[in-house]
Amino acid sequence: MGMSGLKLLKYVLFFFNLLFWFCGCCILGFGIYLLIHNNFNLLPSLTLGNVLIIVGSIIMVVAFLGCMGSIKENKCLLMSFFILLLIILLAEVTLAILLFVYEQKLNNYVSESLTDSIQRYHTDNSTKAAWDSIQSFLQCCGVNGTSDWAGHPPASCPSGPQVQGCYAKAKLWFHSNFLHIGIITICVCVIQVLGMSFALTLNCQIDKTSQALGL
């Protein structure tokens, strides 16, 4: 690979990471918005706002290292970018294995947390907004059915004798969209592997170029 190939690889990696940096900014901003407005809070230890802030921050840091490492041809930044991507990829694989192994415990935890959140429906605006959105979107009522609501179910519950609980509906939605979720997951992993490959290739090429120039 000559100097022209090195420049091409450098700018491909730069714009690749610049795009992801902007995506990270958008995710972070949306997470902050949700956190400020305190929306979508069903699980006590995990809110959508917190998750988006963490994900957005990680994407921004990793993409920044990739941008600066490639455009400056800095080996230290490139290897930091490579190592962080590798750690994230290993963490994703580990998380997938843990979710598979502890699937039943996770199901029980989610079901219990959702049941507890129903008790906060009339006292917590974020919980109310989350339940109303979920019940409207999935056309479901409560965790296991309308009987979960003490007294009259909220207006967001659909009417009818065959209304399913949101927990069963959410699992059904997940299984029906499993192929799309799998494709997105595979694409994310492929992008991460490509980023690692580009960073490693550029790092090696910088070494070769330096040796050729006698630096």
Residue predicted with more confidence, 103 or 22: 22
Q: Where are the domains of the chain?
A: 3-133+166-213
Per-residue confidence band for 117, with pLDDT thresholds at 50, 70 and 90: confident
Q: At residue 103, does pLDDT exceed 60?
A: yes
What average pLDDT does the segment 145-167 reach?
84
Tens-digit pLDDT profile for residues 73-102? 888 999 999 999 999 999 989 988 998 899
In the chain, the percentage of residues whose pLDDT exceeds 90 is 20
More confident residue, 202 or 1: 202
- What confidence tens digit (pLDDT) does each residue in 12-67 have? 889 989 999 999 999 999 888 877 776 555 665 567 778 888 999 999 999 999 99
Reference 156, options 142, 144, 167, 170; nearest CA is 142
This prediction's pTM: 0.77
Residue 6: is its pLDDT beyond 80?
no
Beta bridge partners, 43, equal 46
Q: Residue ranges of the alpha helices (H) in the chain? A: 3-37, 48-71, 75-101, 103-118, 125-138, 166-176, 178-212
Q: Is it the case that residue 212 has pLDDT exceeding 70?
A: no
- Mean pLDDT rounded to a whole number for the chain: 84
Token duo for residue 160: 């009818």
